[in-house]
Chain A
Amino acid sequence: DVKVTQSSRYLVKRTGEKVFLECVQDMDHENMFWYRQDPGLGLRLIYFSYDVKMKEKGDIPEGYSVSREKKERFSLILESASTNQTSMYLCASSLVETGGYYGYTFGSGTRLTVV
Chain B
Amino acid sequence: GENVEQHPSTLSVQEGDSAVIKCTYSDSASNYFPWYKQELGKGPQLIIDIRSNVGEKKDQRIAVTLNKTAKHFSLHITETQPEDSAVYFCAAMHGSSNTGKLIFGQGTTLQVKP
Q: Do A and B bind each other?
A: no
Binding site for B on A (CB under 8 A): none
Binding site for A on B (CB under 8 A): none
